[in-house]
Amino acid sequence: MKRALPFIFILFCTVSINAQAIYEQFQSRKLNSTRDIKIQLPKNYDPESDLKYPVILVFDGDYLFEPVVGQVAFQTYFDKMPEAIVVGLVQGKQRFYDSFHDEVSGLPIEFGAKFFEFITLELMPYIDRNFNTSKFKVAVGHDLMANFMNSFLLKDEPLFKAYINLSPDFKGKMVENVSNRLKWLKEDVFYYMVTSDKDIAPIRSDIKNADQELQQLDNKALKYYFEDFKDDSHYTLVTGALSQALDKIFELYKPISDREFKEDILSYEGTLDQYISKRYQKIEDLFGVHKPISEEEFEKIVKAAEQRNDLASLEKIGKLANKQNPNTSYGTYYLALHAEKSGKTKRAKKLYESALDLESTDHINKDLILSKVEGLTIAVDDNVTDIED
């Protein structure tokens, strides 16, 4: 961990080897006080690694930190989102002052303005300096703190790329401010908002009105999601909302779905190596993390190429797989499959034999490759016509 600036120091730090949970007391000049923060690092976090991680800042970390950490752990286990650094702010009795706002504009003033500066000028820069963070930042807030965190949207360069509004208690003209900003933002932004039929009545009414206004926005950069739960209270909606919000925000990161396969991949105009490369490059550009193309994803793309009878794609997919994982067998296997389907039997046999010398994988093992070699050996021996380059 890099050295912190002089005005920031750690009075207490406990690290759990397995969970890599850090608890710190953070001295702030802006607030002229010390704040407790919780930091959850990815399970195998290595400060010396080049891997970068999105940051999720959780307001009301007293009670929201653990639910967020649990949901992140669940979704990363199933590869539904990238591993992330979760930072929780323990606010306690200071919450009232942290959320202090102008009654007309809804924007932070006085103590609230100082807390805003604490986040932008002290806390988030500290996290970026001391941990391997990507540019993708997520804010999570509940009722009053959800209203507060929307203020970050109004900066010339918003601090956060995603906003999870858990039953937000909008104040003054905050909805109008947010709507006007979201209408013109040019960079991708994710905005999630939730209420329930058993939410606090005035809050629910304002949220429903806000939804009607935000639904009218026509901005391709805006990814807007709204949910109206049933039978949840102002507090019990939190768990389900966190699950849904993270699921929607990181939709692109997930493995290829059946819908994407049928609607996007099979009808793609161009070779499928281009499709998968662009998809993964967008993941890196958006979330700031590098995600290698998995063998399962290569298998899906190969299946699509076969369904399209697209030999050009099949060959290029093999080359792409070999470029990414030259020591594994599946790239060479795909090239052999391309040669076989093209009628180049001798070349296919040589490529399958080459694949035997490479590392087996879950889908392409030595038994499968040997069966291909034996089949082509019989074909060559039987003088099957072989079209060579």
Considering the domain architecture, whether residues 203 and 276 belong to the same structural domain is answered as no
Residue with tokens 């307001």: 59
Mean pLDDT of the chain: 91
Residue pLDDT, tens place only, 217-232: 999 999 999 999 999 9
Give residue 255's pLDDT: 95
The answer as to whether 276 is a domain residue is yes
Calculate the CA dihedral of residues 344, 347, 349, 350 and round it to 10 degrees.
180
Instruction: Over range 31-48, report the average pLDDT.
Output: 95
pLDDT for the residue numbered 2: 40
- The distance from CA 234 to its chain's CA centroid, rounded to whole angstroms, is 26
- Tell me how far CA of residue 286 lies from CA of 121, 253, 255, 311, 321, in angstroms: 23, 10, 16, 31, 23
pLDDT digits (tens, 9 = 90+) for 289-307: 999 999 999 999 999 999 9
Q: Per the domain annotation, does 13 fall within a domain? A: no
Domain ranges, residue 81: 21-253
- Going by pLDDT thresholds of 50, 70 and 90, the confidence category of residue 15 is very low
* Cβ-based neighbours of 103, under 8 Å, separated by 6 or more: 171, 172
Mean pLDDT value of segment 368-389: 70
Q: Render pLDDT for 231-253 as a digit per residue (tens, 0 to 9).
A: 999 999 999 999 999 999 999 99
Could you tell me which of 303, 380, 299, 368 has the C-alpha nearest to residue 344?
A: 380
Within a domain: residue 6? no
60 and 199 assigned to the same domain:
yes
**pLDDT above 90: residue 376:** no
Q: Same structural domain for residues 159 and 298?
A: no
DSSP string, 77-100: HTTSS---EEEEE--GGGHHHHT-
**Domain match, 268 and 233 both:** no
Read off the pLDDT band of 362 (50, 70, 90): confident
- Are 248 and 297 members of one domain? no
Residue 16 lies in a domain: no
> Per the structure, how many domains does the chain have?
2
pLDDT of residue 381: 58
Per-residue confidence (pLDDT) for residue 377, from 0 to 100 = 81
Whether 273 is in a domain gets the answer: yes
Does the pLDDT value for residue 33 go beyond 50?
Answer: yes
Residues 231 and 293 in one domain: no
Residues 234 and 312 in one domain: no
In a domain, 1, yes or no: no
Q: Is the pLDDT of residue 385 over 90?
A: no
Residue carrying structure tokens 């759990």: 16
CATH of the domain at 296: 1.25.40.10
pLDDT of res. 380: 60
Tokens of 250: 């990181």
For residues 176 and 293, state if they share a domain: no
Could you give the strand order of the β-sheet that contains 21-28, starting from the edge strand earlier in sequence?
21-28, 33-40, 85-89, 53-58, 133-142, 162-166, 189-198, 222-233
- Domain end, chosen from 223, 253, 283, is at 253
241 and 299: one domain? no
Residue 363: pLDDT band with limits 50, 70, 90: confident
Domain boundary among 236, 253, 270: 253
Residue where a domain terminates, one of 190, 225, 253: 253
Q: What is the DSSP letter of 220?
A: T
Distance CA 235, CA 47 (A): 36
Tell me: do 240 and 264 sit in the same domain.
no
Residues 370, 230: one domain?
no
- Do the beta carbons of residue 256 and residue 297 sit within 8 Å? yes
Burial of 247 (0-12, 13-18, 19+ CB in 10 A): middle
- CATH number for 50: 3.40.50.1820
Find out whether 284 and 290 touch, Cβ atoms under 8 Å. yes
Tell me: do 343 and 205 sit in the same domain.
no
Contact 89, 59 (CB under 8 A): yes
- The 10s digit of each residue's pLDDT in 65-95 is 999 999 999 999 999 999 999 999 999 999 9
In a domain, 2, yes or no: no
Does a structural domain hold residue 389? no
Q: pLDDT digits over 136-186, tens only?
A: 999 999 999 999 999 999 998 999 999 999 999 999 999 999 999 999 999
